Amino acid sequence: MSKTPPSATYFFTQVEHEILKSVCAYMVGVPSDAALDIPVITIDTFVKQLPKALRTQLRFALLLFQWGPPLFLWKPCRFTQLDPRDAVKYIEGWAKSRLRVRRKLFRGLRDVAFLGYYSTR
C-alpha cells in the first residue's frame, strides 16, 4: 500500500498526503476545494522532525481516521468518501469519544491540521 512520497513531501506517501489534505480541510473548517491551499509540505517538514514513535503514531492516526467510518459511523466507505455532513459528524465523534485514545489521536491530527493552516496566515 505504501507508495513513493510525492516530490513535495518527505514523510507522507502520496495516498497519505491526499488523506491529510482532506482531514485538514475539515479540521480547520475550510471548503474542500480550498484544501489545496493547506500547505501539507509544512506539516510534512514538521512531522519529519518528530521522534520516530510520534511519527508512527501520527501515521497510524491518519490511516485509522481514513478507514474508521465503517467502525465508528457505520458507513461502508473511507473518510475521504464521506459527504460533508457525515464527515463533520465523524470528526465530532472522534472529538467527543468515550475512548481516550481516540480523543488523543483526534487532538494530534487537529493540532497538525492547524499547524499547516496557520503557517501561511
Q: Which helix (H) or strand (E) segment is 37 a member of?
A: none
**Residue 5 identity (one-letter amino acid):** P
* pLDDT tier for residue 120 given thresholds of 50, 70 and 90: low
* pLDDT tier for residue 38 given thresholds of 50, 70 and 90: low
For residue 58, pLDDT over 60 is answered with: yes
80 contacts 65 by C-beta, under 8 angstroms: no
* pLDDT tier for residue 32 given thresholds of 50, 70 and 90: low
Q: What is the dihedral of CA 103, 20, 8, 112, to 10 degrees?
A: -30
**pTM check: above 0.85:** no
Percentage of residues of the chain with pLDDT beyond 70: 83
The mean per-residue pLDDT over the stretch 33-49 comes to 71
Rounded Cα–Cα distance for residues 112 and 105 (Å): 11
Hey, what long-range contacts does 84-93 have (CB within 8 A, 24 or more apart)? 84/26, 84/32, 87/26, 88/26, 91/26, 91/27
* pLDDT tier for residue 3 given thresholds of 50, 70 and 90: low
60's CB contacts (< 8 A; 6+ apart) are: 105
For residue 99, pLDDT over 80 is answered with: yes
